[in-house]
Amino acid sequence: MENQYQTQNQNQNFYSGKNLSTVSIGDWIVTFILMAIPLVNFIMLFVWAFGSNTPQSKANWAKATLILNVVAIVLFILVTIIFAGSMAAIFGGLGNLF
C-alpha cells in the first residue's frame, strides 16, 4: 500500500511539474535565518517564489510574503506623502503669520 502511494505521488509530481515535497524543520530554520539578512531576504524571496526546484508550499509562502511586502511599501509611501503634505500645510500656513 505504501509503495503504491509513493508511485502515485511521484507520478503526480512528474505530471504536474510541481515539487510537492515536504519542507523540513531544518529548511525552515535556514529560511528564517536568511530572512533576517537585509537584501539577501529580498533576493531569496524571488528565488523561492519563482524557482522551479522549490517545494510548492515554500514557493506559495514566498509569493505571499512578496505580496505583503509590496502592500507594506505602498502603504508606507502613501502615509509618507500624507504626512509630508500635512507638514507642508501646517508650516506653510504658520509661515504667513510671521
Average confidence score pLDDT of the chain:
84
Is the pLDDT at 96 greater than 80? The verdict is: no
Write out pLDDT tens, residues 21-68.
889 999 999 999 999 999 999 999 999 999 989 999 999 999 999 999
pTM of the model: 0.70
Specify the DSSP element, H or E, that contains 8.
helix 2-16
Q: Which residues of 19-32 are buried (b: 16+ CB within 10 A; e: fewer)?
A: beeeeeeeeeeebe
Rg (CA), the chain: 23
**Domain span including residue 14:** 2-95
Number of independent structural domains in the chain: 1
Bridge partners of 55? 19
